[in-house]
Structure 1
Amino acid sequence: MTLAQSTSPLAPIGVSAALQAALDKSFQTKPKIFDEFALTDRVGIVSGGNRGLGLEMALTLCEAGARAIYCFDLPTRPSEEWQKTREFVERMGNGSRLEYVSVDVRNQKEVWAKGRDIGDKEKRMDVCVAAAGILKAHTDCLEYPAEQFEEVMDVNTNGVLYTAQAAGRQMVRFGNRGSIILIASMSGSITNRDHAWVSYNTSKSAVLQMARSMACELGKKNIRVNSLSPGHIYTSMTAAYLDKQPHLLDKWSDLNPMGRIGRTDEIRGVIAWLASDASSFCTGSDIIVSGGHHSW
């Protein structure tokens, strides 16, 4: 690897900048740490971006300065939550756009075509967050119906791959660096006690290996692939359990050292980091944000 290939686009940076400043008194010194997190003029896709965690992550990318973030989701029209978030992005005045694309992530050809359309319009692709996922009710693993298992795998695993492919193909097409973030779950590396979620757990475990495998293939193309494993977060999906079974809130909260479940906004920092040059040497990793659930 040549020096040019391993140099930060913000170079000189860090201690190197301090040493250069010591040699050159005319050197303009300024903090660059926030520049490393900036996504100025970048373009991205967030699947599952119509609401909940996906929408929170899409907004994060816009706040970091992205030119346009395209939210992929199944409904023909975006939710009221999404529309209000788009208005919020417009009012920020940083030139960022939040766009909505109705697409079924289970349809590989359709997802690829939507990705290509974005590439044709924006002439670049930089970030992908594959967050679309579903969770089914408790079902005995020995009685689990094939159709339901296949449905969960089709969205949570196949759909994640197709979304990552759609973005990655455009990253290769335009030759710019890229960051692909696959949303897994702590349920991909542990089993939630007293919860019969064999399809969900299996699908998320597959996403962990998918990220490692893609990272190994795409590293030389300057495309990084990582997974993010949230713990118990209050979202519209988990609300389906918590609102009907309020006792679960205390149970889930007691499962980590912090004694509470997480908020969607507590994922913002790690998404901004993974999407940006601040994480430029991070690939093939799983970032766990679970309030210490794994640490007991």
Structure 2
Amino acid sequence: MLKSITSCSSLAILRRSHVSSIYRSGVRLASLHSTPAIKREGLGDFALTDRVAIVTGGNRGLGLEAALALSTAGSRVVYCLDLPEKPGEDWNVARQNLAKLEGAGRLEYVTNDVRDQKKLLQTVEEIATKEGRMDICVAAAGIAGAARPCLEYTEEELEEVYAVNLKGVFFSAQAAARQMHRFQTPGSIILLGSIAGSIALKHTPVLPYNTSKAAVIQMARVMACELAQNNIRVNSLSPGYIETPMTTAIISARPEYQAIWSEQSVMNRLGKPHELRGIITWLASDASSFCTGSNIVVDGGYTAW
């Protein structure tokens, strides 16, 4: 009994001294970003109070879901970067709904092509200059490309996918990281990968997509190692099959994929876009302050077999 009490006392002392040493060494704690108002609302370290974020591919699909997650967690503003000159109906509806939600940040739309490195660097710099900071980047722009046997892919088809899914993701992360470093703000960069980057998708011949997502997962690890000294965290998020406009279009053309993709999940269904909001908020916030270089899988158990 005495040994147990002594152990508990020692543990308590260790915890107190550890916390004190963290404060003394100047390492950023989650509480440094918290505010009394947000604490009263119960968000705690998940709050994104006054953060400035960019989301590429933010016009629809998982990009728009990410933007909604960041906005509802209290971000000052989320800039959605995407290719169309004007945002679509889904984005406009989302913005209108956010405007009615107390405490949510504003949503802005900017036309941009993630394949154009110079233009993207300029755009993100302008955003950071206007807002005076850059805190979060979600690189969600991506395409599936053509589905065909690997022996039939052309160079043009490979380049099309890699330009968006590989170069575009890197250019997005690079542009945000430069501004985080410029303003000396602790940052979180989330690269949208896929379970296709870790496994081969059954009965789904999309080699360029698979290889591009594998590269994204490795990209996050390498960037995390390089940028940690700048207090910038980089992680990849690998969803399973989610009901997005991209997957819906594929199922419309090949209805059999609905059953193929669902049956591989232990939950026997595709995921809903909103089911990623929680993990995105966690990765973007101080609640995940010790998480970097990780690949987070959210796939309904698809890869658990």
Cα deviation 1:199-233 (Å, max 9, x = unaligned): 00010000001000000000011100000000000
The aligned residue for residue 27 of structure 2 is 6
Q: Distance in 2 between matches of 1:143 and 1:292?
A: 31
Q: Structure 1 pair 31/118, CA: closer, same or farther in 2 (3 Å)?
A: closer
Q: Give the counterpart of 2:174 among 158, 165, 177.
A: 165
Cα deviation 1:28-78 (Å, max 9, x = unaligned): xx8897210000000000000000111011011000000000001000011
Offset of residue 93 of structure 1: 3.1
Trace 1:218-229 onto structure 2 (pairs within 5 A): 218-229=227-238
Q: Which amino acid aligns with 2:81?
A: F
Offset of residue 92 of structure 1: 1.0
RMSD: 1.7
Contact preservation (8 Å) 2:72, 2:104: no
Contact preservation (8 Å) 2:30, 2:45: no
Q: Distance in 1 between matches of 2:53 and 2:68?
A: 11
Q: Distance in 2 between matches of 1:187 and 1:223?
A: 26
Q: Which amino acid aligns with 2:289?
A: S
Tell whether 2:53 aligns with 1:34.
no
The aligned residue for residue 95 of structure 2 is 86
Trace 1:206-217 onto structure 2 (pairs within 5 A): 206-217=215-226
The aligned residue for residue 164 of structure 2 is 155
Q: Distance in 2 between matches of 1:113 and 1:137?
A: 31
State the SS of the aligned residue for 1:10. helix
State the SS of the aligned residue for 1:208. helix
Trace 1:95-244 onto structure 2 (pairs within 5 A): 96-244=105-253
- Counting aligned pairs with the same residue, the percent is 53
Offset of residue 196 of structure 1: 1.2
Q: Structure 1 pair 251/162, CA: closer, same or farther in 2 (3 Å)?
A: same
State the SS of the aligned residue for 2:237. strand
Q: Distance in 1 between matches of 2:83 and 2:283?
A: 25
Tell whether 2:77 aligns with 1:57.
no
Q: Structure 1 pair 89/219, CA: closer, same or farther in 2 (3 Å)?
A: same
State the SS of the aligned residue for 2:79. strand
State the SS of the aligned residue for 1:92. coil
Moved more, 130-139 or 120-129: 130-139
State the SS of the aligned residue for 1:199. helix
State the SS of the aligned residue for 1:136. coil
Q: Structure 1 pair 31/83, CA: closer, same or farther in 2 (3 Å)?
A: closer
Q: Structure 1 pair 92/242, CA: closer, same or farther in 2 (3 Å)?
A: same
Q: Which amino acid aligns with 1:71?
A: C
What 5-or-longer segments of structure 1 have no aligned partner? 14-29
Offset of residue 7 of structure 1: 5.5
Q: Structure 1 pair 282/265, CA: closer, same or farther in 2 (3 Å)?
A: same
Contact preservation (8 Å) 2:146, 2:157: no
Q: Which amino acid aligns with 2:270?
A: I
Q: Structure 1 pair 7/170, CA: closer, same or farther in 2 (3 Å)?
A: closer
State the SS of the aligned residue for 2:134. coil
Aligned residues: 279
Cα deviation 1:164-208 (Å, max 9, x = unaligned): 011111100110100000000000000101111010001000000
The aligned residue for residue 17 of structure 1 is none
The aligned residue for residue 259 of structure 1 is 268
Q: Distance in 1 between matches of 2:265 and 2:252?
A: 20
State the SS of the aligned residue for 1:287. strand
Q: Structure 1 pair 7/80, CA: closer, same or farther in 2 (3 Å)?
A: closer
Q: Distance in 1 between matches of 2:158 and 2:112?
A: 21
Q: Give the counterpart of 2:54 among 38, 45, 70.
A: 45
Q: Distance in 2 between matches of 1:141 and 1:249?
A: 22
State the SS of the aligned residue for 1:98. strand
Q: Distance in 1 between matches of 2:158 and 2:244?
A: 22
What 5-or-longer segments of structure 2 have no aligned partner? 1-17
Moved more, 69-78 or 245-254: 245-254
Offset of residue 250 of structure 1: 1.6
